[in-house]
């Protein structure tokens, strides 16, 4: 808990005590669990016997908390011996605190399994011998607690209780289920309101909700959880995004390769991944061969096999492979969620083999395309240079490390990245640049990572013949622009709230007919044909419904352009497109010729324009 | 053995006896196994004790066979009782024949496990009671045999012994290993010579050999057999072929979907595939969930889950999904071969859901694109209409079957297909059209198959709301143009002998520099840049080698165009391209402006031209 010293932490911790105080006022028989600080707020676990709390009870508890806060009770700290504390727990009929204290006594250190030390009354963080504990008292409420707290309850900031849920004591399902009351707490009202607004929005624009409404993907119980199926509309998103990433990488010289989705375990034993991560992978059983197979969790060793299949010369380098490949991980069923946590992960994977002298050019070009790629997606990237420190066990030649780290820094400066240096964050096999961005909902997204690798090429015995005729080991660069397409989409759908730019939109133009006369239907299908010939994604809505209803339907599907075809449009060959609000600042779009309209949209598509040109 | 009545069959069967006669002359102690007719010839299995035959012994055996043939010995048939035959085998020390006869006696029918009835002496084909067997005698050689044979050894046509190999008695590795001598036999010398030539060529243009020489794919022992990795050049072939197939299918309204490579076994239990084929699949084990998972062996049930994820109306149909998807099969290790038999199979899979009234339009459009697709690939398609007969157990509505079969026939007539009707060849769930072609090596290739399916949509409870408001079950059409991209490539690489048309060629233009001066290198890289801007695949060969050697290297790699850049080319901006021989009838190509050259090649690429336009 790095933040334990800061004021917000103390406010949230104090809010948890105020919550417990309020619950004890309302239910004097309550047995207390623990009440730690969590992201955005705090919670406290209670055993209330037969009393079952619901969200309807929260306003009453909040009112009681407000009273305690306005009473401005001092938080007073006492340090007592462990035995005294045990006595207190007995006398006050607090079996959960008693259990924690007895555990503390038994272990003789502050390391009590399953419980953060800050909700124990032990003075020291870390693992050390203990014989005293501390209590904090406010008004008539006393709790075993390490602190810190604010001076008095009046200093607890704006808060809001959010929900009640069941929680097993110490997270163990064999234990009794307690009732967890969870609340938000911030230093200022504005911060609390902003968070509430963002959370409300996140709920409304949850990608799972939008995925269903916009017909993007399907989770089928027969196929399995964490294995989304992409509909035609969702597949457009996948393909447009990966095509964009592919185009950018082709521009810097990457060539496609293709590798299968399974491999012998031996491949990953050689790469060293099996020993570290094998537990997290899906294994494959063949009845016909004795091969021990795994579903590939990454494509690097496959690509190394391609590199290693021929003799390579310094003149061939850099060799740049790319593959939009689906890899598989054995995620816990309970953690699978929409597209953000899946078992089938599609990566826009890239592996570059180069000489040490080429690191600058290789990484520099990856930084360039990453900046351009994300700026077009409306995300401003920051970067972290993850370098080695003096403690870690790093593999590979120290001089090469130093040289590479110097190059990374000079690239970051030269390319004017918004970056910071994080020593000790390098992987054991090489330094890297981590790109990240903040989305419209204020969440931090992990984006592209060019990662140097001084170890794997040697493990696979890869080499190239240098100018002097000697055999050398190439440096490897791992890179993915989108990372996981599924995870990126889960964030991006929410970031744009389902309103995709024209180039990404699964449906770019909705052609709505005013009525069902032959002339109008015929003209609408002509327009559709023209649009398709220009490579545009368009649909005709010929349904026997009112124009108003059909236009609204296009709005619901967040289609960028909607045109209505009536007798006037047939006669003049002009249309007055309705443009999705976020794409334009204009109030009215004047009628333009249909061919001109289609040309303009085609140009927006090709240029991946962010705004409408109408 | 449908061919048992024809003359070639009798000639080959007689050649097997002549072979055995010759071996018995040379090795009187030989114990005879069996000697059946096989594709292109015959073999005979011998137990020669300690004598080991090699290919060096074949000329001697052939010479002895020639003597027997020129002696023109009559083939004389005797019918004897089973007991007499057993006695013969005992007296002549033929333990393998004895074993077969005892098996015959025990089973009392002609069904003897593992042995084709035509090498037994039983008179009737099929399974029936037996108490006599037949022998054939030529000269001093007598063999248990059903026949038929030609009249005399003089009627055995041209033959050639090809190889000796080990073969377990009755194909069971627990039995003794016999020595199998394999020979070709044809009616005419021309046919034999043609076959030998084609076989020679097939060896020279074996796709595994070309795959290595042209750097197309790699089999890595660490990844596993039957799991080819595609290099950048090979991936171009995969991508161009699947893009072509995708474009054609998009033209008839197919939309992309995407589905993961694994699914719960339950999905295939519901579809009915698991019970039939489950044994041939790879299974997947998760430690985190209890899901029983399989690697998907086909995408149909996945696509049905997408169809079934929303309510569908008759106005939405036909719904056409396509996916270029890799599926996995648990092939026997011993049968895996290059790209022709693999465990990772990429299909250009298509599933169409339609009303019975739409079958005509749907199948008609698939036939159109199939004809166009293969004619451009230089393969002339024939078709087999695989319909039901009156015996099989077919599922689905009989009226729908009749209607669909009538439609298939009328499409075949209307589209002027070169076709024949095969009653009884339909799948139990629907009739189909099988497209096939003969390749340059005379081999029959199985190509596209539009297959109707009246069963699966019901199994998954799929429906659409018809015009009258009632819920109906859609008809499903399974279709793949290429089928397995790997298998198609294995045949196509050999068909074109590695000389791919411009649009498919991994490298379209090789730019060779005359020498290493800055001006020439600079101009070559300008040309390269121009070519790439036009989307062409080009490479500069700047190596410090002679022009002759560099041009030959381009020829070895079967690059369609090679241009040499020297001082004259730099000065005039004109080049004299060398065109790969099969692409043009011209002897000399006159020099043309470089931009014009690149424009022409670009046009050939876009139009998928078969011949050079230079």
pLDDT tens sequence across B54-107:
989 999 999 999 999 999 999 999 999 999 999 999 999 999 999 999 888 887
Mean pLDDT of B584-590: 85
What is the 8-class DSSP label of residue B500? -
The reply to whether residue B229 touches residue A262, judged by beta carbons under 8 angstroms, is no
Partners of residue A260 in chain B, C-beta under 8 Å: 223, 227-229, 326, 343-344
pLDDT beyond 70 at B296: yes
R_g (Cα) of chain A, nearest Å: 30
* Predicted local confidence at residue B572, as pLDDT: 95
Residue, of A592 and A174, whose pLDDT is higher? A592
Query: With 0-12 CB in 10 A as exposed, 13-18 as middle and 19+ as buried, what is B56?
Result: exposed
The DSSP H or E segment spanning A478 is strand A475-484
What is the 8-class DSSP label of residue B130? -
Per-residue pLDDT band for A203 (boundaries 50, 70, 90) equals confident
Q: Which two tokens stand for residue B166?
A: 């080990």
Strand partners, A227: none
Per-residue pLDDT band for A121 (boundaries 50, 70, 90) equals low
Question: pLDDT tens-digit profile of B352-397?
Answer: 999 999 999 999 999 999 999 999 998 989 999 999 988 778 888 8
User: B461-497: buried (b, 16+ CB within 10 Å) or exposed (e) per residue?
Assistant: ebbbeeeeeeebbbbbbbbbbbbbbbbbbbbbbbbbb
DSSP-based three-state secondary structure for B521: helix
Helices (H) and strands (E) in chain A, counts: 18, 30
Q: From its phi and psi, is residue B112 left (phi > 0), alpha (psi between -120 and 50) or beta?
A: beta
Mean pLDDT estimate for chain B: 92
d(Cα A261, Cα B345) in Å, to the nearest integer? 11
Partners of residue A228 in chain B, C-beta under 8 Å: 260
**Token pair 């339009």 is at which residue?**
B361
Strand partners, B140: none
What are the CB-based long-range contacts (under 8 Å, 24+) for A199-205? A201/A441, A201/A497, A202/A441, A202/A494, A205/A441, A205/A493, A205/A494, A205/A497, A205/A498
Partners of residue A332 in chain B, C-beta under 8 Å: 288-289
pLDDT beyond 80 at B464: yes
* Predicted local confidence at residue A126, as pLDDT: 45
Lowest mean pLDDT among A303-317, B420-434, B466-480: B420-434
The DSSP H or E segment spanning A347 is strand A344-354
Partners of residue A262 in chain B, C-beta under 8 Å: 224, 227, 282, 295, 328, 343-344
Best to test chain B binding among A241, A251, A258 (most B CBs inside 10 Å): A258
* Predicted local confidence at residue B109, as pLDDT: 58
Q: Are B44 and B23 in contact (CB under 8 A)?
A: yes
Name the residue of chain B whose CA is nearest to A267's CA: B222
Question: pLDDT tens-digit profile of A226-258?
Answer: 999 999 999 999 999 999 999 999 999 999 999
Known catalytic residue: A149?
no
**Token pair 């295939």 is at which residue?**
B268
d(Cα B164, Cα B181) in Å, to the nearest integer? 5
* Residue ranges in B325-459 assigned as alpha helix (H): 359-376, 398-414, 456-459
Mean pLDDT of B563-590: 92
Per-residue pLDDT band for B404 (boundaries 50, 70, 90) equals very high
Known catalytic residue: A300?
yes
Identify which of A526, A508, A606 has the alpha carbon closest to the alpha carbon of residue A570. Answer: A526
- Write a three-state SS string for B277-330: HHHHCCEEECCCCCCCEEECCCCHHHHHHHHCCCCCEHHHCCEEEEEEEEEECC
Q: CA of B322, closest CA in chain A: separation in Å?
A: 9
What is the 8-class DSSP label of residue A126? S
List phi, psi (to 5°) of B583.
-90, -10
* Predicted local confidence at residue B5, as pLDDT: 59
Name the residue of chain B whose CA is nearest to A311's CA: B215
Mean pLDDT of B288-314: 95
Best to test chain A binding among B216, B249, B257, B486 (most A CBs inside 10 Å): B257
Q: Are A533 and A602 in contact (CB under 8 A)?
A: no
The reply to whether residue B225 touches residue A289, judged by beta carbons under 8 angstroms, is yes
Mean pLDDT of A576-603: 93
* Predicted local confidence at residue A108, as pLDDT: 66
Which amino acids of B are annotated catalytic? Answer: 300, 329, 347, 349, 351, 432, 478
The DSSP H or E segment spanning A69 is helix A58-70
The reply to whether residue B306 touches residue A218, judged by beta carbons under 8 angstroms, is yes
* Predicted local confidence at residue B90, as pLDDT: 93
Mean pLDDT of B26-55: 92
Question: pLDDT tens-digit profile of A71-113?
Answer: 999 999 999 999 999 999 999 999 999 999 988 888 765 555 5
Question: pLDDT tens-digit profile of B407-441?
Answer: 999 999 999 999 999 998 899 899 999 999 988 77
**CB proximity list for B404: less than 8 A, separation 6 or greater:** B356, B359, B430, B431, B452, B454, B475
Best to test chain B binding among A232, A290, A484 (most B CBs inside 10 Å): A232
Question: pLDDT tens-digit profile of A347-389?
Answer: 999 999 999 999 999 999 999 999 999 999 989 899 999 999 8
Q: From its phi and psi, is residue B78 left (phi > 0), alpha (psi between -120 and 50) or beta?
A: beta
Question: pLDDT tens-digit profile of A272-289?
Answer: 899 989 989 999 999 988
* Predicted local confidence at residue B409, as pLDDT: 96
Q: CA of A267, closest CA in chain B: separation in Å?
A: 5
d(Cα A227, Cα A205) in Å, to the nearest integer? 21
R_g (Cα) of chain B, nearest Å: 30
The reply to whether residue A224 touches residue B263, judged by beta carbons under 8 angstroms, is yes
* Predicted local confidence at residue B125, as pLDDT: 45
* Predicted local confidence at residue A1, as pLDDT: 35
Domains and CATH numbers, chain A: 2-188 (3.30.980.10), 209-259+322-495 (3.30.930.10), 509-607 (3.40.50.800)
* Predicted local confidence at residue A391, as pLDDT: 79
The DSSP H or E segment spanning B194 is helix B189-204
Q: Are B165 and B181 in contact (CB under 8 A)?
A: no
Mean pLDDT estimate for chain A: 92
d(Cα B135, Cα B86) in Å, to the nearest integer? 12
* Predicted local confidence at residue A114, as pLDDT: 56
Q: Are B231 and A306 in contact (CB under 8 A)?
A: yes
**Token pair 């199939």 is at which residue?**
B370
**CB proximity list for B491: less than 8 A, separation 6 or greater:** B207, B340, B439, B443, B445
Q: Is the torsion defined by CA of B494, B496, B498, B503 positive or negative?
A: negative
Identify which of B363, B453, B356 has the alpha carbon closest to the alpha carbon of residue B410. Answer: B363
pLDDT beyond 70 at B110: no
Whole-model pTM: value is 0.78
Question: pLDDT tens-digit profile of A40-49?
Answer: 899 999 999 9
Per-residue pLDDT band for B112 (boundaries 50, 70, 90) equals low
d(Cα B379, Cα B495) in Å, to the nearest integer? 9
Residue, of A126 and B199, whose pLDDT is higher? B199
Per-residue pLDDT band for B188 (boundaries 50, 70, 90) equals very high
> Cis omega (within 30 of 0) on the bond before A318?
yes
The reply to whether residue B344 touches residue A257, judged by beta carbons under 8 angstroms, is no
d(Cα B188, Cα B25) in Å, to the nearest integer? 27
Taking each helix axis as running N to C, give the angle between helix B232-251 and helix B359-376, from 0 to 180 degrees, rounded to the nearest 10.
140
Q: CA of A468, closest CA in chain B: separation in Å?
A: 15
d(Cα A328, Cα A264) in Å, to the nearest integer? 14
Q: CA of B102, closest CA in chain A: separation in Å?
A: 33
Question: pLDDT tens-digit profile of A472-491?
Answer: 999 999 999 999 999 999 99
* Predicted local confidence at residue B118, as pLDDT: 62
Angle at B219 between CA B213 and CA B220, to 5 degrees: 125
- Write a three-state SS string for B131-190: CEEEEEEECCEEEECCCCCCCEHHHCCCEEEEEEEEEEHHHCCCCCEEEEEEEEECCCHH
Q: Which of A300, A303, A451, A508 is catalytic?
A: A300
Per-residue pLDDT band for B113 (boundaries 50, 70, 90) equals low
pLDDT beyond 70 at A122: no
pLDDT beyond 50 at B405: yes
Per-residue pLDDT band for A445 (boundaries 50, 70, 90) equals confident
Identify which of B418, B409, B488, B500 has the alpha carbon closest to the alpha carbon of residue B447. Answer: B488
**CB proximity list for A154: less than 8 A, separation 6 or greater:** A69, A70, A71, A72
């Amino acid at each position: 808990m790095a933040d334990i010293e800061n004021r917000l932490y103390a406010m949230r911790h104090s809010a948890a005590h105020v919550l417990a105080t309020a619950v004890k006022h309302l239910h004097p028989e309550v047995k207390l669990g623990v009440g730690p600080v969590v992201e955005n707020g705090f919670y406290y676990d209670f055993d209330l016997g037969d009393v079952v709390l619901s969200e309807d009870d929260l306003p009453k508890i909040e009112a009681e908390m407000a009273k305690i806060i306005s009473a401005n009770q001092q938080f007073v700290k006492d340090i007592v011996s462990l035995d005294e504390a045990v006595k207190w727990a007995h006398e006050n009929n607090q079996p959960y605190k008693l259990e924690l204290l007895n555990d503390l006594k038994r272990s003789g250190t502050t390391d009590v399994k399953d419980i953060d030390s800050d909700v124990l009354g032990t003075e020291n963080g870390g693992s050390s011998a203990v014989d005293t504990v501390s209590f904090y008292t406010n008004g008539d409420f006393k709790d075993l607690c390490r602190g810190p707290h604010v001076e008095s309850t009046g200093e607890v900031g704006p808060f809001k209780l959010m929900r009640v849920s069941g929680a097993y004591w110490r997270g163990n399902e064999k234990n009794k289920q307690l009732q967890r009351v969870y609340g938000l707490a911030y230093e200022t009202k504005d911060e609390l309101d902003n968070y509430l607004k963002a959370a409300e929005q996140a709920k409304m624009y949850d990608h799972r909700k939008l995925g269903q409404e916009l017909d993007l993907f399907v989770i089928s119980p027969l196929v399995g959880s964490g294995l989304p199926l992409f509909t035609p509309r969702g597949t457009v998103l996948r393909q447009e995004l990966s095509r964009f990433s592919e185009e950018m990488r082709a521009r810097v010289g990457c060539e496609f390769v293709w590798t299968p989705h399974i491999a012998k375990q031996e491949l990953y034993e050689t790469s060293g991944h099996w020993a570290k991560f094998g537990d997290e992978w899906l294994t494959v059983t063949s009845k016909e061969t004795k091969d021990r197979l795994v579903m590939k969790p990454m494509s690097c060793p496959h690509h190394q096999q391609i590199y290693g299949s021929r003799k390579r010369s310094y003149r061939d380098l850099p060799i740049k492979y790319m593959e939009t490949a689906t890899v598989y991980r054995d995620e816990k069923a309970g953690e699978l969620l929409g597209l953000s946590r899946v078992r089938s992960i599609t990566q826009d994977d890239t592996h570059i083999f180069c000489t040490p002298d080429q690191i600058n050019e290789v990484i520099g070009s990856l930084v360039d395309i990453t900046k351009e790629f994300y700026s077009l997606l409306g995300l401003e990237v920051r970067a972290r240079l993850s370098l080695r420190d003096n403690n870690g066990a790093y593999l590979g030649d120290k001089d090469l490390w130093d040289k590479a780290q110097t190059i990374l820094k000079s690239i970051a400066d030269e390319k004017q990245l918004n970056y910071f240096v994080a020593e000790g964050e390098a992987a054991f096999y090489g330094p890297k640049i981590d790109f990240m961005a903040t989305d419209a909902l204020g969440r931090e997204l992990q984006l592209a990572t060019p990662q140097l690798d001084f170890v794997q090429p040697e493990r696979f015995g890869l080499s190239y013949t240098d100018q002097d005729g000697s055999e050398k080991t190439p440096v490897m660069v791992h890179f993915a622009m989108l990372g996981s397409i599924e995870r990126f989409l889960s964030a991006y759908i929410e970031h744009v709230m389902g309103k995709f730019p024209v180039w990404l939109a699964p449906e770019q133009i909705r052609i709505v007919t005013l009525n069902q006369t032959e002339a109008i239907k015929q003209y609408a299908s002509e327009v559709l044909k023209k649009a398709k010939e220009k490579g545009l994604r368009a649909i005709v809505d010929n349904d026997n419904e009112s124009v108003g209803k059909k236009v609204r339907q296009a709005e619901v599907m967040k289609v960028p352009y909607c045109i209505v075809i009536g007798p006037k449009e047939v006669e003049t060959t002009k249309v007055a497109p309705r443009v999705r609000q976020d794409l334009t600042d204009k109030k009215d779009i004047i009628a333009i010729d249909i061919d001109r309209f289609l040309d303009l949209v085609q140009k927006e598509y090709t240029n991946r324009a962010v705004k409408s040109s109408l």
